[in-house]
Amino acid sequence: MRGIELTPEHPVDRVADLAASAEEHGFDTVFGSCHYNNRDPFAALTRVAGATETVRLGPGVANPFETHPVRLAGQVATLDELSGGRAVFGVGPGDPSTLRNLGVADERGLRPVLESFEVARDLWAGERVDHDGAFEATAAGLNFEPPQGASIPVYVGGEGPHMCRMAGKRADGLLFNGSHPEDLAWARERVDEGIDQREEEVDAEAFDLAAFAAVSVSEDTDAAREAARPPVAFIASGAAPPVLDRHGVDAETTERIGEHISAGEFSAAFEAVTPAMLEAFAVAGDPDTVTERFGALLDHADSVVVGSPLGPDLDLAVELAGRALADAHD
C-alpha cells in the first residue's frame, strides 16, 4: 500500500481535489481521518470516491464510540458500494484528547475495536447479528451486501502492544501510529506475535503493517517542521508511557498538551511541542530527508501512510510525498 491521510478540516471539495492529485502522484489508498470536530469523514470519502478511479478509500480511523458499530458497518458498506468495491475499514480506539470532550475517553480499549470489526464482517456477509458485549445488537442486519462482502480489508489503528498483537491475529493490517524506525521495529515484533496465534493458516506476507506517519515535506525544512507541530501535539498527548520513555519525551509536558487540546487551547498545545517530539512523532523536512526516513520505516513496515499535515503547501506536499515514497520503495 502507498497510502495518504486526508483530513476533512478542509472543505469536502478540497479533500476530493487532493485525493485526485494523490491518485495522480502514485498513491493507491486514501484514508479520511475521523474527529468529531472536523467535517464528516464519510461525506468527504463519498466525494473522494467520485473524484477518483482506482484508489482504495476508507475511514482512517473510525472509532466505535461516536457511532454505533452496526451503523458504522453500514456506512463502510455504503462506501464500498458507491466506490465500486474500493472500501477499506480503518477502525481503532480513537484519539483520547478529542473523545474526552464526548465523555468516552475512559471507554477506549481493545475489546470494542475487535468486536466492532468482527460484527461488521458478519453484517457484510449478509448475516443477522445478535451481540451482547462492548455494545448490544439484536437481530441487526443490513438490507444490502457490499461488493466486497466480508472481504472488505480491515485495518486496526493503534500503537499499544495488545492492539498490535490483536491486529496480527485478527485483522488484515495495522495502521501503526508511528513515525520512527525504532517504534516500527517494536511494532513488527508485536504483530508477528499475533500472526503466530492465528487459528487459520495465513501467509504472514499478506498482512500489511503500515507506518501511519505524520509527514510534513517541503523544500523549506524549517517550514516543514513548523507545519508538523499540530499533529505531533495530538500524537504526543495520546502516546503511551513506554513510547515516551523510548524517545526521552517528558510525560508531564505531553499531559499538559492534552489538557490544552481538550480545552480548545490549540496555540498553547502546538507551542509546547519540543524538538524531541518532532523527531519521535513526525517525518518532517525536505524531500531527501523524508525519502531517507521513509526508507528507514520500510526496513520494518510493509507500507507507509503519509499522514497529516503533509506540508505547509498541501498541493506541492502531495506531489513531493508521492515522489519520496516511490523513491523509498525503489
Reported as type and span, the H/E element at residue 26 is none
pTM: 0.93
Residues 152 and 198 in one domain: yes
Please tell me the predicted confidence (pLDDT) of residue 84: 98
Residue recorded with cell 458478519: 122
- Of the three residues 263, 281, 299, the one that is the final residue of a domain is 281
When divided into structural domains, the chain yields a total of: 2
Inter-CA distances, 161 with 11, 178, 189, 201, 213, Å: 36, 13, 9, 23, 18
pLDDT at 93: 87
Residue range of the domain that includes 256: 229-281
pLDDT score, position 102: 72
DSSP 150-190: GGS-EEEEE-SHHHHHHHHHHSSEEEE---SHHHHHHHHHH
Do 127 and 257 lie in one domain? The reply is: no
User: What pLDDT does residue 262 have?
Assistant: 83
Specify whether 50 is located in the same domain as 110.
yes
Q: How confident is the chain (330 residues) per 10-residue block, as mean pLDDT?
A: 97 98 98 92 98 98 92 98 98 76 72 96 97 95 96 95 95 96 96 90 80 98 96 88 90 93 92 95 97 98 97 98 96
The reply to whether 239 and 297 lie within a common domain is no
pLDDT confidence of residue 131:
96
Q: Which CATH number is 185's domain given?
A: 3.20.20.30
State whether 170 and 275 are in the same domain: no
pLDDT of residue 107: 67
Give yes or no: residues 264 and 115 share one domain.
no
Residues 131 and 179 in one domain: yes
- State whether 38 and 54 are in the same domain: yes
143 and 175 together in one domain: yes
Q: Are residues 204 and 268 in the same domain?
A: no
What does the CA dihedral 239, 134, 264, 229 come to, rounded to 10 degrees? 30
72 and 196 in a single domain? The answer is yes
